[in-house]
Amino acid sequence: MELIIEGVIKRVNAPQEFPSGFRKCEIHIETTGDQYPETLAVEFLKDDVDEAIQLAPGQKVKMRCNVKGREWRREDTDPFKVFMSLSMWKYEVINESIKEQVMAKAAANPVAKDDGMPF
């Protein structure tokens, strides 16, 4: 199952490496555009960890994730619990819109004061 998430990166956690050589890095993303923003954990796995550590808090991203679920129970008599995870398989950093870029440029370069002179 695929899920597309758009939001802003809140934090990039330190990568984890296991004795088997498997690596993962968890990124926390706050969804945008919703009435009630949510913070979601997205995992970057294996070779994608190198890309995850290049991301920074505050960046806008769009991620395509696989939704994974697995059952677990401690003993045969315990009830089952289900754990879910979001594993990124494709992402893009969303650039600011043209309007935001123009507004930022205008704020950085204030318009010269008009003193009535033609030059």
What confidence score (pLDDT) does residue 113 get? 53
Q: What is the pLDDT of residue 1?
A: 83
13: tokens are 């956690």
Say how far apart CA 32 and CA 54 lie, in whole Å: 21
Write down all domains in the chain, each with its CATH number in brackets. Answer: 2-108 (2.40.50.140)
Residues 6+ apart with CB under 8 A from 61: 5, 6, 7, 8, 9, 29, 55, 91, 92, 93, 94
The pLDDT assigned to 32 comes to 80
State the pLDDT at residue 33.
Answer: 76
Q: What's residue 114's pLDDT?
A: 55
* Encoded tokens for 70: 């697995």
Cross-strand bridge partners of residue 20: none
**pLDDT values of the chain reduced to their tens digit, one per residue, 119 residues:** 889 999 999 999 999 999 999 999 999 999 987 788 899 999 999 999 999 999 999 999 999 999 999 999 999 999 999 999 999 999 999 986 555 555 555 555 555 555 565 55
CA dihedral 19, 71, 12, 34 (to 10 degrees): 170
